[in-house]
Amino acid sequence: MIPAAFEYYRPESLQDALSLLQTHGDDARVMAGGHSLIPMMKLRMAEVPHLIDLQAIADLRGIRVDGDTVSIGAMVTQHEVIESTDLLRAAPILREAALQIADPQVRYMGTIGGNVANGDPGNDMPGIMQCLGAEFSLIGPDGTRTVAARNFFEAAYMTARTDEEILTRITFPAHAGGFAYEKQKRKIGDYATAAAAVLLTKEGGTCATASIAMTNLSDVPVWSEAAAAALDGTACDSGAIAKAMAAMDGDIDPGEDNRGPVAFKRHVAGITLSRAITRAWSRA
Amino acid sequence: MNDLSPDRDDRIANLKGLGCSRKRVEDARFTQGKGNYVDDIKMPGMLHGDFVRSPYAHARVVSINIDAAMALDGVVAVLTAKDLEPLGLHWMPTLAGDKQMVLADGKVLFQGQEVAYVVARDRYVAADAVELVEVDYEELPVIVDPFKALEPGATVLREDLEGQTSGAHGERRHPNHIFLWEEGDKAATEAVLDEAEVVAEETIYYHRTHPCPLETCGCVASMDKVNGKLTLYGTFQAPHVVRTVASLLSGIEEHNIRVVSPDIGGGFGNKVGVYPGYVCSIVASIVTGKPVKWVEDRMENLMATAFARDYWMKGRISATKEGKITGLHCHVTADHGAFDACADPTKFPAGFFHICTGSYDIPVAYVGVDGVYTNKAPGGVAYRCSFRVTEAAYFIERMIEVLAQELNMDAAELRRINFIRKDQFPYHSALGWEYDSGDYHTAWDKALTAVNYDGLRAEQAERVEAFKRGETRKLMGIGLSFFTEIVGAGPVKNCDILGMGMFDSCEIRIHPTGSATARLGTISQGQGHATTFAQILASEIGISADSITIEEGDTDTAPYGLGTYGSRSTPVAGAATALAGRKIRAKAQMIAAYLLEVHDNDVEFDVDRFVVKGAPERFKTMKEIAYAAYNQAIPGLEPGLEAVSYYDPPNMTYPFGAYICVMDLDVDTGQTEIRQVYALDDCGTRINPMVIEGQVHGGLTEAYAIAMGQEIAYDEMGNCKTGTLMDFFLPTAVETPHYTTDFTETPSPHHPIGAKGVGESPNVGGVPMFSNAVHDAFRAFGLRQSHMPHDHWRIWRIAEGLGLHG
Ligand SMILES: Cc1cc2nc3c(=O)[nH]c(=O)nc-3n(C[C@H](O)[C@H](O)[C@H](O)COP(=O)(O)OP(=O)(O)OC[C@H]3O[C@@H](n4cnc5c(N)ncnc54)[C@H](O)[C@@H]3O)c2cc1C
C-alpha cells in the first residue's frame, strides 16, 4: 500500500495546471480530493509520476445558483454540497445523494468534479448528473467545450474528457417537483449494490415529466429514457412502476461481484427504482 | 491509638477492588493517540522489510531474479529460500506440528505466500524493490474445496510430505489429508442414532473469516552484534513463547533474547502464531547488524496471516418424541489451507471442538475431525474464542434449532428441557469435559422474561400472517442462543504449546511506601489488564488499585507465561495474581502481628489493614506494613515484600450465557435490521462490570460482522476476493446494533476468586444468535439451513429459493 514515487505540483491557476499536463503528457494526472486516485496509486493500479493537485485553483471552486441555472465548481467537495442551502433549494436531490456517499471523512475531501471525472461506475454523482441533464465544462489546450453528462461516460474509467483536459464546472437546470436517490449498499463506505435517481413532476394528478438514472448496474451510469417514458401520464401507480422497472431492466447490464450475482442485482435494481419512484411521487 | 476514619465503606471504595466499575487506566493514552505500538518504534539506522508475494494460489517457482531490485539505490538485501536454507530457516515449525515455508521453496501454495524478502533503507524503497523482483511461475492446478482435495487422484499439494502416511496427529489417508481426530464413543452413538425416535441431520458450514485486528502484524528485530543480544519488538499475543521459539530456531540462547510486546491494537488470535515476517526480520537483522522493521499492510494481513474457522460440520442429533436429546454425532471437514498452522494446544488438533455438546445433557456423542490441505492461506486460529469453541457453539446451536423444527417444537423450550441441571455440576460431558459450574435454567428464564419471549412469538406469528396477506415484505426473526464456553487453558497435564505447559504467572513487588508493581506472563491487546488485574490484587492485598502498576509483555522483566488468547488471562494469570497476592498477605500478617505485638493468629485482614481480633482500633495498614518490611529488622523474616506465583489450573472454567436478538428482514433486498439484542453473561465473579460490558459490546459486534457479512472468500483460481475493507466487512457505528447486557453470577468453584473469563463469550454466543435469527425468520416457510455470512444477496437467495418473490 505504498505508491511509487511521484512529483507533486500545486499550481495556482488553470493555465499552469494545463501547461503541466501538456509538459508531462501521459505521465501526469490531476488530483482533486484524491479519494479515488490515491487508493489506486497505493495499490499501484495507477502510476502517476507527475501529480498535479488542483486544490489551490480558486476558479474551480464555488456553488452558484443563478435564477434557474446551477453551476458547481469541479473542486466543490461533497461536504460543501451537503452544507449548501442554495443547492438544497435548487437541487435537493444532490444533498440526498451526497449524504449516501462514503462517510464524512471521505466527503470532506472528495469533490463533485473528481466523482464524475473518475468514470468509475460505482460513483454516485454520474447517474445524478445524467438524471439532472447536466453539462460538464472542460478546458484544454484548444480552449473550452461542454459535454452533456448523458454523453460523457464511455466505459469504466473512460470518459469523453481527453487526457489534457480539466473539468472546470458542472451546470444544470434547477429541478422542481419530486426527487429521490435510493441506494442499497452493504455498509457505510460501500459503493452501491444498486441505486436509482428519480426526478419527476406532477400535473393534474399525473406524471408530466420524469428522468431516471441507475448507478453501478453497468460499466457506465444508465440514464433510462424508456423507464421514464413508462411513467409519463400515469399516476405512478403500481402498474406504471412495474412498467418502468421492466423498461429499466432492459437498459442495465450488471456484473457479478462480491455484492451478489446478476439476478440479485437486477431484482434489487427494480426494488430501488420502485422505492425511488414512490418517494419522488410522494414529494411531487 | 489509631484513628478509625475513614470508615469501612469508604476504605472499600478507595480500594477499587473486585466489582468496581473502575475506568480503564489504559484509555488516557489511547484516546489521546499516545499509545506506543510496534510501528511507532524507530531505532537509529533501522532498515525496512517488505515481501514479494505470490499472485498465484498454486505454482512452481521456476526462477527468481533479484538483480534489478538489488540495483535500486537503498536496497540492502533480497532474501530468498536459497539464502535461508543454509541456516535451516527456509521452513519453520508450526504450532500444530506441521512445518511451513518461510519463503517459497520451489513452489507456492497460496495467493499472497511469501516468496522473497526485501530489506531497504526505507519503507518506500522496499516497496519499489518488491516490484523489481522478477519471479517466473509455472501455474499448477488449484484446489480450494477441501472435499475435492480428498478425492482420489487429486493434485498433491504438499509434495514435501510425499510418502508420509502419518503426521503429528496420526494417520494421513490421502496426500492432502492432515489428520483424523476423534473423541467420544462412535459405536454407541451410532447405535443410539439408529434406534432413535427422531433424528435431525444437517450440514452446518462455518465459513472462513479473519480476526482482522485494526493494527496489523509486525515486528522490529534488533541484533546487537557487540553484546550478542537480540531484541524483538512485535505484535505478539504470547511473547514468552515467541522468545522460546526464536531461541530454538536461531540457536541464540534464551537469556540473550528479549521479546517485547508493546501496546497491541487488537489480536483476536491473529497474533498468536509465528509468521515468516518475524523470521525474515530476525535473519535480516543478524545479517545486516541493523534493526529491521516489518509491518504488514491490511491486504497482507487479510490474505496471508492467520484466518479463522472454515469448518464443514455434518451433524446428526437424535431425540425422543418429547424432545429429550439422546445422542449427537458430528463429522467435520476442516480446511486448514496450505500448512497446518492452527494455534491449538499441541494435543488438540481440533482445539476444544468437543465442547460441541454445548449446554445440554447429551448422554452419548462422537466427534471426528478431518484436517485437509487446500490452496488457501494457513491459520485456523481462535478468533475471539477459545480454540474452535465458536465453531462448536455454532454447530450445536444450529442443530438445536434444526431439531426443534424436526420436532415441531419451540426452540426455547427444547433448550430448556435439555439443559444440564444445576444439581448436575460438576458435570461430565459425553466428550470428556468436566463443566465446573452453571445454572442454565435461571439464566435462560431471566433472558426469556427480559425480552418478553411469548410476546415476541405472538408478534412474529402476526407478521407471518400479514406477509402472507401481502401487507408487508418484512419478516421477523427471533435469534436464540445459549452457549457454554470452555476457557482458561489449561491444566498443564494436557495443555501445552510446543511443549510449554499452559500455566501462567504473576510476580508482585510491594514498594516501601505502599504502592506495588505486578508483572504477568500475559499481554493485553485491549482487554484492559492494567485495570482489572490491579483490581484483583487490590482486593487481595489491601492496596488501592490506583497504587498498583500492572506490567506485561517484556520477557526481560515479566515472569514466563503462555500469553493472552482463549480467554485465559483471568482464569490463569488472574488466578496467579490472586495467589501471589495471598503470599504477600501471609507475610504482611506476620509483620503486622510483630508490629502489634500479638500472635500471628490474633490479627485478621480487613480491607486495607490487619486488625487485632476484637480490637478494631488496634491495626496496621498495608502501607505501614510495607514500610516496616523494608525498614525494620523483623525476627525470623527476610526483608522486603515480594511474591511470585505460577498457576497451573486444575480445570478449565466454563462461562455461559443466554443471548436473544430480534431482527427484521426485507425479503426483497436481503437487508436486515437488528431491533434488539439482549445478552446475559455469566462469567462467574465479576471483576469490573464496565470492562465486562465493553468486552461484550466488542465481541457482539464481531459476532454480528461474522454472521452478517464478514468472510474470506476465494474464487476457483484461489484468488482471495476479500482482501480490502471495502469487501471484508467491519461494521461501523452505523451498522452496529444497540445492546442490552445482563448477568447472573455463578462463581467457578476451583478458581481462587471464582472468575471465569468473558472477553470471548459474546463472539461464541453472538454468532449463533444472529444466524439463528435469520433462519428463524424463514422457519414458517420451511427453511432448514442456509450458510453464513448472511449478507444481502444470500438472504435474497433464501427468499428466492422459498418462492417468496412471487
Ligand atoms: C472508503 C471510500 C468509500 C467511497 N464510497 C463512495 C461512494 O459510495 N460513492 C461514490 O460516489 N464515491 C465513493 N468514494 C469515492 C469518493 O467519493 C471520491 O472522493 C470520488 O470518487 C473522487 O473524488 P476526488 O475528488 O477524491 O477525486 P480524485 O481521487 O482526486 O480523482 C479521481 C479521478 O478524477 C480525475 N479528476 C479529478 N478532478 C478532475 C478534474 N477537475 N478534471 C479532470 N480530471 C479530474 C483524477 O485525475 C482521477 O483520475 C469512496 C471513496 C472511499 C475512499
| Contacting residues for B391 by C-beta, under 8 A, at least 6 apart | B206, B309, B311, B313, B332, B353, B356
For the segment B268-316, what is each residue's pLDDT rounded down to a tens digit?
A: 999 998 999 999 999 999 999 999 999 999 999 999 999 999 999 999 9
| Chain B residues near residue A187 by CB distance under 8 angstroms | 709, 729, 731-732, 734-735
Report the pLDDT value the prediction gives residue B5, as an integer from 0 to 100. Answer: 74
**pLDDT recorded at residue A79:** 98
When pLDDT is cut at 50, 70 and 90, the band that residue B3 belongs to is low
- Sequence-ordered list of residues with C-beta below 8 angstroms from that of B692, at least 6 positions apart, any chain: B681, B683, B686, B741, B743, B758
* Nearest residue to B150 (alpha-carbon basis) of B335, B321, B13: B335
Distance from C-alpha of B217 to C-alpha of B275, rounded to nearest angstrom: 9
We find that the CATH architecture of domain B6-35+504-647 is 2-Layer Sandwich (3.30)
Q: What pLDDT does B2 receive?
A: 61
Q: Grid cell 483471568 — which residue?
A: B570
Q: Model confidence at B426, in pLDDT bands (50, 70, 90)?
A: very high
- The pLDDT of residue B518 is above 60: yes
Q: What is the mean pLDDT of residues B552-569?
A: 94
Cell reading at A9: 505540483
Q: What is the complex's ipTM, to 2 decimals?
A: 0.96
Q: Which protein residue's CA is at the shortest distance from atom 5 of ligand 1?
A: A102
Nearest-CA residue for ligand 1 atom 38 is A114
How far apart CA B481 and CA B662 sit, in angstroms, is 12
Q: For B98, phi and psi rounded to 5 degrees?
A: -100, -175
E strands in B485-547: 496-497, 500-501, 504-510, 516-520
The answer, for B186 touching chain A at a CB cutoff of 8 Å, is no
Instruction: Inform me whether the pLDDT recorded for B396 exceeds 90.
Output: yes
Cα of A113 to ligand 1 centre, how many Å?
8
Interface of B with A in 725-744 (CB under 8 A): 725-727, 729, 731-732, 734-735
Helix (H, G, I), strand (E, B) or coil at B716: coil
DSSP codes joined into one string, A138-189: EEETTEEEEEEHHHHEEETTEES--TT-EEEEEEEE---SEEEEEEE-SSTT
**Given a cut of 80, is residue B110 above it in pLDDT?**
yes
B567 falls in which pLDDT band (50, 70, 90)?
Answer: confident
* CATH fold for the domain made of A178-283: Enolase-like; domain 1 (3.30.390)
- Please give the pLDDT value at position A101: 98
Interface of B with A in 281-300 (CB under 8 A): 297-299
**Minimal-distance CA residue to ligand 1 atom 36:** A114
In angstroms, the CA B434 to CA B429 distance is 6
For chains A and B, count residue pairs whose Cβ atoms are closer than 8 Å.
Answer: 66
CB contact under 8 A, A264 and B709: no
C-alpha cell, B433: 469435559
CA distance B454 to B477: 13
Residue B298 has its nearest CB partner, among A1, A264, A267, at A1
pTM equals 0.97
A62: left (phi over 0), alpha (psi -120 to 50) or beta: left
pLDDT in tens, B47-97: 999 999 999 999 999 999 999 999 999 999 999 999 999 999 999 999 999
Does any CB of chain A come closer than 8 Å to the CB of residue B128? yes
Q: Specify the amino acid at residue B376.
A: K
Contact B797 A264 (CB under 8 A): yes
Return d(Cα B251, Cα B240) in angstroms, integer. 16
Share of chain B above pLDDT 90, in %: 96
pLDDT at B126: 98
Cross-chain Cβ contact B732/A184 below 8 Å: no
Indicate the Cα dihedral angle A140, A144, A148, A153, nearest 10°: 0
For the stretch B613-667, pLDDT in tens is 999 999 999 999 999 999 999 999 999 999 999 999 999 999 999 999 999 999 9
Backbone angles phi and psi of B347, in degrees to 5: -80, 0
Question: How many whole angstroms separate alpha carbon A185 and alpha carbon A61?
Answer: 30
SS (H, E, C) B163-214: CCCEECCEECCCCCEEEEEEEECHHHHHHHHHHCCEEEEEEEEEEEECCCCC
Q: How far is CA B381 from the centre of its chain?
A: 7
The single residue listed with the C-alpha cell 475506568 is: B23
B-chain residues near A272 (CB < 8 A): 669
Distance, CA of A250 to CA of A248 (rounded, Å): 5
Ordered by start, the domain boundaries in chain A are 7-53, 58-173, 178-283
For residue B440, what pLDDT band results from cuts at 50, 70 and 90? very high
Collapsing DSSP states into helix, strand and coil, what is residue B578? helix
**Nearest atom (ligand 1) to Cα of A29:** 47
Distance from Cα B52 to the centre of ligand 1, integer Å? 29
Q: What is the pLDDT of residue B669?
A: 98
Give the residue range(s) of CATH 3.90.1170.50 domains in chain B. 38-140+216-264+272-304
Out of B299, B671, B721, closest to residue A1 by CB: B299
Q: How far is the CA of A70 from the centre of ligand 1 (A)?
A: 21
Class level of CATH domain B307-488+652-801: alpha beta
Is residue A132 a contact partner of residue A112, using CB atoms and an 8 Å limit? no
With contact defined as beta carbons under 8 Å apart, do B436 and B749 qualify? yes
Report phi then psi at B746, rounded to 5: -115, 95
For residue B432, count other CB atoms closer than 10 A to its CB: 11
The amino acid at residue A5 is: A
The CA A58 to ligand 1 mean position distance, Å, reads: 19
List, by residue number, the catalytic residues of B: 237, 384-385, 760
Cα separation values, A44 from A39, A41, A173, B69, Å:
8, 5, 39, 17
How confident is the model at residue B1, as a pLDDT?
46
Domain topology for A7-53:
3.30.43
Distance CA A149, CA A117 (A): 10
Q: Which of A188, A171, A22, A41 is nearest to A101 (CA)?
A: A188
pLDDT in tens, B11-55: 999 999 999 999 999 999 999 999 999 999 999 999 999 999 999
Bridge partner residues of B333 (DSSP):
B312, B370
Q: Do the Cβ atoms of B221 and B281 come closer than 8 Å?
A: yes
Given a cut of 50, whether residue B777 has pLDDT beyond it is yes
Task: Please name the fold of domain A58-173.
Answer: 3.30.465
Q: Which residues form ligand 1's pocket by a CB distance below 6 Å?
A: A 29-37, 39, 54, 74, 101-102, 106, 109-111, 113-115, 117-118, 123-125, 166-167, 189, 191
How far apart are the CA of B695 and the centre of ligand 1, in A?
Answer: 37
Q: Does the beta carbon of B792 lie under 8 angstroms from any beta carbon of chain A?
A: yes
Cell 473518475 sits on residue: A118
| The pLDDT value given to residue A161 | 97
Tell me, what's the pLDDT at B732?
Answer: 94
Report chain A residues touching chain B, CB-CB < 8 A. Answer: 1-2, 4-5, 44, 103, 184, 186-191, 193, 258-261, 263-264, 267-268, 271-272
CATH class of the domain whose range is B38-140+216-264+272-304: alpha beta
Residue B244's φ and ψ, nearest 5 degrees, are: -60, -45
Q: B44 exposed, middle or buried (CB, 10 Å; 0-12, 13-18, 19+)?
A: exposed
Q: Give chain B's mean pLDDT.
A: 96
CA distance A191 to chain B (A): 9
Mean pLDDT computed over B721-743: 96
d(CA B272, CA B238): 6
The alpha-carbon gap from A188 to the nearest alpha carbon of chain B, in Å, equals 7
In chain A, which stretches have pLDDT less than 50? none
pLDDT of residue B806: 80
Question: Which residue in this structure is represented by grid cell 535500486?
Answer: B72
**Secondary element (H or E) of residue A118:** none
Quick check: A2 and B792 CB within 8 A?
A: no
Q: In terms of Cα–Cα distance, which of A77, A100, A99, A81 is closest to A90?
A: A81
Q: Do B668 and A44 touch (CB under 8 A)?
A: no
Is the separation of the CB atoms in A197 and A212 below 8 Å? Answer: yes
Name which of A2, A189, A263 is nearest B732 (Cβ-Cβ). Answer: A189
Q: In this structure, are strands B379-381 and B427-428 parallel, antiparallel, or unpaired? A: unpaired
SS3 category, B516:
strand
Q: Please write the tens of the pLDDT for every residue from B133-163.
A: 999 999 999 999 999 999 999 999 999 999 9
- pLDDT surpassing 80 at residue B185: yes
In chain B, where does the domain assigned CATH 3.30.365.10 lie? 6-35+504-647, 307-488+652-801
Give the model confidence (pLDDT) of B205-240 as tens digits.
999 999 999 999 999 999 999 999 999 999 999 999
